[in-house]
Chain A
Amino acid sequence: SQTIHQWPATLVQPVGSPLSLECTVEGTSNPNLYWYRQAAGRGLQLLFYSVGIGQISSEVPQNLSASRPQDRQFILSSKKLLLSDSGFYLCAWTKQGTGSQPQHFGDGTRLSIL
């Protein structure tokens, strides 16, 4: 069966510090991968998605970036965090295929910026 791992579960960072959140998927190959941010009352905001190694699509201009160095690894980064980067970050994957496949989520990283 497929599993998705995200870490860390909780992170507290000072303003201006760098960020690296990691997500890995097991039990499947060549998945589509997604990064979301979820804020209270605002729903899920798609930040980035990737359909293959090195292929990143950005949905929202911001000071975050994403990379996919390996088939089942997706990384969310920032060089300098802002207060507005606080939130709940979720990674998700889908199978490649026709139609809109359901996305499967990790348990997220709660990021607090001080």
Chain B
Amino acid sequence: QKEVEQDPGPLSVPEGAIVSLNCTYSNSAFQYFMWYRQYSRKGPELLMYTYSSGNKEDGRFTAQVDKSSKYISLFIRDSQPSDSATYLCATGAGGSNYKLTFGKGTLLTVNP
């Protein structure tokens, strides 16, 4: 079983839709959770950074972590064509572990 699983999509939605992106993970030691957005031919850009379970909101973006089910989500409200990108989840165990474990990314297209 891979440590982080993410549906690659592609996911296509109309402008204004609510988008739900999800990842599951297997390592219960993971405590730090991130979402990145990557435009074509660019590096990933950090969107959200959360610790442990719960919700975090930033504008149209909400990150949700459920450690009991090892499930992380990113919700995008009022989606815009500029949200079209690949979204990657990432997790880390903290401590002296300097590495993050990334999902393979979900390709999202928001159609005007």
Contacts and interface: CB of A to CB of B under 8 A. Distances in A.
Given A99-B32, A100-B93, A100-B97, A110 B41 contact: yes
A41 interface: yes
Nearest to A92: B43
Contacts of B51: 99
Given A99-B51, A102-B34, A41 B43 contact: no
A107 B43 contact: yes
Interface in B56-112: 88, 90-95, 97-100, 102-105
B87 to A, nearest CB: 12
A43 interface: yes
Nearest to B97: A100
B32 A100 contact: yes
Contacts of B105: 43
| Chain B CB within 10 A, most for which of A49, A94, A100, A103 | A100
Interface in A90-114: 90, 92, 94, 98-100, 102-108, 110
18 contacts: A41-B8, A42-B104, A43-B103, A43-B105, A44-B88, A90-B44, A94-B98, A99-B51, A99-B94, A100-B91, A100-B92, A100-B93, A100-B97, A102-B49, A103-B46, A104-B46, A105-B44, A105-B45
Interface of A: 6, 32, 41-44, 46, 49, 51, 90, 92, 94, 98-100, 102-108, 110
Given A43-B103, A100-B93, 11 more contacts: A42-B104, A43-B102, A46-B99, A49-B99, A98-B94, A99-B31, A99-B92, A100-B97, A102-B34, A102-B46, A102-B90
